[in-house]
Amino acid sequence: MRLAITGNPGVGKHTTAKFVAKKIQGSRIIDINKFAIDKNAILRKDTKYGIDVDVKRLRKMINDELRTITSDIAIIGHLAPYVLRPSDVRHVIVLRRSPYELVKTLEQRKYSLEKIRENVASEILGVSLYDALKTFGKNKIVELDTTGKRPNYIADEIILSMQKEIVSQIGIVDWLSLVYTKGDLHNFLEY
């Protein structure tokens, strides 16, 4: 198993990956952000904007790491489309979450207002899904809505999708229509 779990910050990637790893015993998790920090692939740390990663260097380092791993592996992080190649993974899961829930999650994590707006706008516009499609192609991708769902349930959905019991689905989430219909478009996308 070579699995990538990606999506915007706050959609449940890391928590879900832990449940996937428990269900697929002997599997290993590579957290892209932690890997970048541990391997010093950081260009700049900023309290306002977070971490700037050296994507070229990180891509090479992850590629080298993947060559040495023979066990099942889940690679987690919003940077997956930028540091992984299509041949690095068999399955790509793009997790999505309602912007209404996402705001609460990012506020709990003490994100700045600017960072919250940036990440929520990215989620509404489907940037993570678009980037994953551009890198990996539609045949490897399953888009899952995590809104109101427990991580262990999402982990089960991931495993079923890898076993081809759930047909690959993309384009099932439309947050733009949701926030437009509720009259909140300006709240989320106006700066």
pLDDT at 48: 63
Sheet of strand 91-96, all strands in order from the earlier edge strand to the far edge? 28-31, 73-76, 2-6, 91-96, 141-145
Q: What is the pLDDT of residues 107-158, one digit of tens each?
A: 999 988 888 999 999 999 999 999 999 999 988 999 999 999 999 999 999 9
pLDDT at 73: 87
Between 51 and 188, the higher pLDDT residue? 188
Task: Give the pair of three-digit tokens for residue 9.
Answer: 């910050």
Q: How many CB atoms are closer than 10 A to CB 169?
A: 13
Q: Does residue 47 carry a pLDDT above 70?
A: no
Instruction: Provide mean pLDDT across the span 50-78.
Output: 88
pLDDT at 161: 87
Instruction: Provide mean pLDDT across the span 14-42.
Output: 88
pLDDT at 191: 57
pLDDT at 163: 84
Lowest mean pLDDT among 49-58, 66-75, 142-151: 49-58
Mean pLDDT across the chain: 90
Q: What is the pLDDT of residues 158-180, one digit of tens each?
A: 998 888 766 677 888 999 999 99
Residues with Cβ within 8 Å of residue 1, at least 6 apart in sequence: 24, 27, 72, 73, 74, 90, 91, 162
Q: How confident is the model at residue 187 (pLDDT cuts 50, 70, 90)?
A: confident
pLDDT at 188: 87
Percent of the chain with pLDDT over 90: 63
3-state secondary structure (DSSP) of residue 4: strand
Q: Where do the domains of the chain lie, and which CATH numbers do they carry?
A: 2-189 (3.40.50.300)
Instruction: Provide mean pLDDT across the span 73-100.
Output: 94
Between 101 and 163, the higher pLDDT residue? 101
Q: Does residue 184 carry a pLDDT above 70?
A: yes
